[in-house]
Amino acid sequence: MKTLLTGGTVVSMDPAVGDLAPGDVLVEDGVIVEVAARIDAPDAEVIDATDRIVVPGFVDNHRHTWQTAFRGAGADWTFAEWAVAMHGTVKPHYRPEDVYAGTLLGRLEALHSGVTTMLDWYHVAGTHEHEDAAVAALRDAPGHSIFCLGAGWGTPDPVDSDVRRVRDVLPGDGPVTMALGLRGPEATDLDTVARELKLAAELGLRTSLHVDLTTGAVAELHAHGLLRDTTTFVHGNGLGDEELRMLADAGSSLSISPDVELKMGFGRPMTGRALAAGLRPTLSVDDVPSAAGDMFSTMRTAFAVQRGLDGGLRSRDLLSFVTLDAAASCGLDARTGSITPGKDADIVLLRADDLTVFPVTDPVASIVSAGHPGLVDTVLVSGRVVKRDGVLVDVDLAALRTRLLASRERIAAAAGIPLDGTWRPRPSSE
């Protein structure tokens, strides 16, 4: 089956392909086969991309999707308040069906906003039924998803047999794959980190771990030979420059969540310092109770902060962080992250005629400075159209909304929290 995108402004993010205005993209059996100023393919289904900016699908490599029922509830929260609210107050009341509803609506929202590949950093609860519910939700949403089985925050560390069980459920390189979330040196001992890395290597899993405020965590891992080119470090606001260079030398990745880090008091996003140390940063949403779920927001916040600090970064850097660089951090840069012949057709068409960006002079500058999910007109995942004319295809949103609202209300009632905007979590230290 062939699909031809015609007459769009193509921002390929592949230096060998470049940008074309206008340009055509030919997709065959889910794979990009040609990108050129004009392509003749009379047997292809045509998608008119006139007045559209054609970009690679976005990649979010760190999102705790289970929290979706409480989207927007925590814009004012500190980190301590978020921890007591999400992990201390509502999480104990999550049933598998709540994990399913939150994960599915969260994944669909990401897709709606152009995120074709998303890593779900799972740390809600340790039962097999909860894990399976998250996997089922990711499978029921039509995007590439990575189920990152994690722990921490009162969740039992997954034991080896549990990791192996999920690996048996997610064995291959299908639409939903698996990664392993580590607690890391801030929350556990180095022997545990070493054991988990060994297990991950045996099972062929990439790993991700949070290092928030601690200086020295990465140096400690480095000293014990525990840095891997298959590990993504999340946040890293406390890392020293030497530690950032250690990550760069090891080929590890860094995932920056600009809104959460700034609002919850982690410190400034590490974008500029990471680049200076030789790392290609990536951006992530992290938590939708306190941050927006789209990559336009992450790009804009990271851009504004770095420009404010030192005038650094160009808008194209930001677009790279959420496409090609993020794909590399997931080990998927051979398959996605740019509009390159041979890669999966993970492609987003953005409205260039919307008044919020019209008229477009420099498409990348417009996307980064003024882009928003309302521009996301059409989304293809492996060539399959999953959003068209601004609407998700074959998704009964009304039914899913009802389901998520019921989940939220049941959890809130069980946890004794109000849903009228007066919920103010109280950390025990206050």
Burial of 331 (0-12, 13-18, 19+ CB in 10 A): middle
Report the residue number, 24 or 261, with the smaller CB distance to Zn ion.
Answer: 261
Total residues at interface with Zn ion (CB under 5 A): 1
Q: Which stretch binds Zn ion (CB under 5 A): 97-105, 248-256, 282-290, 354-362?
A: 282-290
Q: Which stretch binds Zn ion (CB under 5 A): 16-24, 70-78, 213-221, 285-293?
A: 285-293
Report the residue number, 7 or 238, with the smaller CB distance to Zn ion.
Answer: 238
Footprint of Zn ion on residues 332-391 (CB under 5 A)?
none
Residue in the shown chain whose Cβ atom is closest to Zn ion:
286
Report the residue number, 5 or 115, with the smaller CB distance to Zn ion.
Answer: 115
Report the residue number, 64 or 387, with the smaller CB distance to Zn ion.
Answer: 64
The Cα-based distances of 292 to 209, 280, 355 in angstroms read 22, 23, 22
Nearest approach in angstroms of CB 377 to Zn ion is 30
Nearest approach in angstroms of CB 243 to Zn ion is 19
Nearest approach in angstroms of CB 103 to Zn ion is 15
Q: Which stretch binds Zn ion (CB under 5 A): 44-52, 88-96, 283-291, 337-345?
A: 283-291
Is residue 394 within 8 A of residue 377, CB to CB? The reply is: no
| 81 backbone dihedrals φ, ψ, rounded to 5° | -70, -40
SS (H, E, C) 252-318: CEEEECHHHHHHCCCCCCCHHHHHHCCCCEEECCECCCCCCCCHHHHHHHHHHHHHHHHCCCCHHHH
Nearest approach in angstroms of CB 123 to Zn ion is 8
Report the residue number, 252 or 315, with the smaller CB distance to Zn ion.
Answer: 252
Report the residue number, 214 or 369, with the smaller CB distance to Zn ion.
Answer: 214
The SS3 of residue 140 is helix
Report the residue number, 209 or 379, with the smaller CB distance to Zn ion.
Answer: 209
Nearest approach in angstroms of CB 358 to Zn ion is 36
Cα 351 from Cα 300, distance rounded (Å): 18
Cα 17 from Cα 35, distance rounded (Å): 7
Residues near 190 by beta carbon (within 8 Å), at least 6 away in sequence: 220, 221, 224, 226
Interhelix angle 397-415/96-112, rounded to 10 degrees, is 130
Q: Which stretch binds Zn ion (CB under 5 A): 216-224, 264-272, 280-288, 364-372?
A: 280-288
Contact footprint for Zn ion (CB under 5 A): 286
